[in-house]
């Protein structure tokens, strides 16, 4: 803190705040959403629809700015800080690949995390 070198404690605190906390919050949100009961996911050439016992949301592919393929989830960005989280726990690798391929074919940027 005197300006004579790297403050390791401050660096570690920054890494925790910048990386670990957001990852925890996103994963916690996905688990909470998945734990609210069964979720049905419909992926088609037209877009993505998610429904639970309480709600149904449908989005055309052109509504998404990007798709992040993260561990245990797909995160479809809607812009403005909004996103749709899809847990991949119940999907096969082929189904995940199909969602990513369909998104890319519709002009949505696919990012792997």
- Please state the pTM of the whole predicted model: 0.62
CA-to-CA dists, residue 82 to 11, 24, 63, angstroms: 29, 17, 11
Of 55, 87, 57, nearest in space to 72 by CA: 87
Of 100, 56, 63, nearest in space to 80 by CA: 63
Is residue 84 within a helix (H) or strand (E), and if so which, with residue range? Answer: strand 82-87
Of 71, 75, 73, 70, nearest in space to 108 by CA: 75
Mean pLDDT of the chain: 85
- Mean pLDDT to the nearest integer, 54-82: 92
């Amino acid at each position: 803190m005197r300006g004579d070198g790297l403050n390791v404690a401050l660096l570690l605190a920054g890494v925790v705040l910048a990386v670990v906390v957001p990852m925890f919050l996103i994963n916690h949100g996905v688990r909470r959403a998945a734990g609210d009961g069964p979720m049905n996911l419909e992926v088609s050439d037209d877009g993505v629809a998610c429904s639970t016992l309480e709600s149904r949301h449908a989005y055309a592919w052109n509504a998404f700015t990007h798709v992040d393929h993260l561990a245990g989830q797909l995160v479809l960005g809607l812009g403005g800080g909004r996103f749709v989280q899809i847990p991949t726990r119940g999907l096969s690798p082929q189904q995940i690949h199909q969602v990513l391929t369909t998104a890319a074919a519709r002009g949505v940027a696919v990012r792997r995390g």
